[in-house]
Copies of this chain bind each other. A is one copy, B any other.
Amino acid sequence: MNERSFGEDSVGFVETQYATLCEPPNELVLDSGVKLGPIDIAYETYGVLNEDKSNVILILHALSGDAHAAGWYKGARKPGWWDIAIGPGKAFDTDRYFVICSNVIGGCKGSTGPSSINPATGRPFGLDFPVVTIGDMVRVQKRLLDHLGIDSLLTVSGGSMGGMQALQWAVDYPDMVRSAIPIATTSRLSAQGIAFNEVGRQAIMADPNWNHGDYYGKIPPDAGLAVARMIGHITYLSDEGMHAKFGRRLRDKEKYGFDFSSDFEVESYLKYQGEAFIQRFDANSYLYITKAQDYFDMTNETGSLVEAFRGVKARFLVISFSSDWLFPSYQSKEIVTALRLNGVDVSYCEISSTYGHDAFLLEAGQQAILIKNFLAHTMEAVAHGR
């Protein structure tokens, strides 16, 4: 891959950068009331910051994402998680915009989280790491932008939990956010969403190797984390998508095995997903990040979504996918209605797709056109001081 020749639409080789923020006495006060700092944040940037710093796009990742949203690490077999959407000429066009993506607090990809060293003990935090919220993630991102000298965002965008952060940004920093593109997301996690997250956490905590979160340097709770990932993965696909992709096709057999090995392709696919995930993710981070999702409810303080969006100044493009049953379209429509009732300029599109919730990671065509046009209009509005 070092000899790789990139297509014209690739940002090419990238490297993750790191910033240390919230150093005492400027610790971050979390929603829980706990003070945390210093906080390391991993981030990447693509494209070039323009002179008046008006072309900044903040990309926000989902549960298992990280700062590596686009381009290639040297030697890697896969590009960043949203390479389909970020690059020259792509939805987030790096010829025009300066794109930033950072790993969330609580994560395990370079940002401070439960696997980081607790300065107070010299040992990994484990469960001593404080529970964080979507609001906390956003506060840390704000500190990162302060650190980078950026005080205006052309847009904030992400899918799933990334969309939650985009909503939170538009509410918490209305004067800083010119537009927001929440995709396949919700203004508050549903009971069903909480239930799936909780079962994933129970699977991890049921693994004896989890050891109440104290497993660093020992055998991690791989079996539990793999089960959690498998559960999650089913919810990211759709019934019709799974039917189209796997149906009832048998793995490599002529007929049923009459045992408990994998008979069906869908079984071995899921197992593969579970096993690949444990190579790259920390079980405690899975607990913390799903908990942050569970706690996400924009109506928590106001009791009403319309009230919650009262101060929003950003333009919005809201996107959902027809077969997404984890964050169904009705949840996006609730956001759209509450924004419109505040007189916010909002476009909404439900894209027809069989990919389920994962569609935001996979659908390049319509999603890219929607985002491109929306950003062009937003940039024009900014240029004309609107």
A binding-site residues for B, Cβ under 8 Å: 31-32, 34, 127, 130-131, 188-192, 194-196, 198-199, 201-203, 205-208, 223-224, 226-227, 230-231, 234, 237, 239, 242-243, 245-248, 256, 258-260, 262-264, 266-267, 270-271, 274, 287, 291, 294-295, 297, 325, 328
Contact = CB atoms under 8 A, between A and B. Distances in A.
Given A190-B242, A260-B205, A287-B260, A198 B247 contact: no
A157 to B, nearest CB: 25
B248 A227 contact: no
8 contacts: A188-B248, A190-B239, A191-B239, A194-B248, A198-B271, A199-B270, A202-B230, A239-B328
Contact of A191 (B130, B190, B264): B264
A206 B190 contact: no
A230 B199 contact: yes
A202 B226 contact: yes
A199 B256 CA distance: 18
Copies of this chain in its oligomeric complex = 2
Nearest to A201: B260
Nearest to A237: B192
A274 B188 contact: no
Contacts of A227: 199, 202-203, 206, 227
Nearest to A233: B195
Q: Which of A227, A259, A274 is the most central at the interface, judged by chain B CB atoms within 10 Å of its CB? A: A227
